[in-house]
Amino acid sequence: MARTPTSATGADAGFTLVELMVTLVILGLASTAVVMAIPDGSSVLREESERLGARLGAARDAAIVGGRDMAVRVDASGYGFEQRRGGAWLPAGGAAFAPRRWPEGMAFIPGPNTPSRIVFDVTGLATPAVVQLQRDGQSWRVIVEAAGKVRIDAG
């Protein structure tokens, strides 16, 4: 008598509970990795504020070392550095002082006393200013003190 193959019924059909649980755990880990890899708006805002603060500090140092006033102009589209040469403000050279546009979705919020140009003189003193940046309802401030110190605050 020949044996016939068993049909896929009863205990032989489908996946076991353990197989389903393992699959769900793997999907959960994969989706967590994807969510963690997506930058949120606050980290982009913080990083851009830190970048601006570092570049302002570099401008202060360049003014002291180079013996020429340095300035930054900040507006709604971004910021750029200038150097005083021959009695005029000219674009500063070098990659460290290249103009930068704000990332998509970021806004510069000028305050009532925001100067059009933040200047660092050859002694390191600066035009006091607060550069406020916003994105996705969050805000960070880059603060330039008269003594030339640059600070970054969540604001």
pLDDT (tens place) for every residue of the chain, 155 residues total: 555 555 555 556 788 888 888 888 888 778 777 766 665 556 889 999 999 999 999 999 999 999 999 999 999 999 999 999 998 999 998 888 999 999 999 999 988 878 889 999 999 999 999 999 999 889 999 999 999 999 999 87
pLDDT at 76: 92
Domains and CATH numbers, the chain: 41-154 (3.55.40.10)
pLDDT at 29: 79
Q: Which residues of 70-91 are buried (b: 16+ CB within 10 A; e: fewer)?
A: bbbbbeeeebbbbbbeeeebee
pLDDT at 25: 82
CA 91 from centre of chain = 23
pLDDT at 6: 56
pLDDT at 2: 59
CA 146 from centre of chain = 25
Tokens matching residue 108: 């510069």
pLDDT at 154: 87
3-state DSSP helix/strand/coil percent for the chain, to nearest 5?
Answer: 35, 30, 35
User: Residue 144 belongs to what H/E stretch?
Assistant: strand 138-144
Distances (CA, A) of 137 to 38, 42, 52, 103, 114: 18, 9, 20, 15, 21
Count Cβ atoms below 10 Å from residue 146 Cβ, excluding itself: 10
Give the C-alpha separation, 95 to 75, whole Å. 20
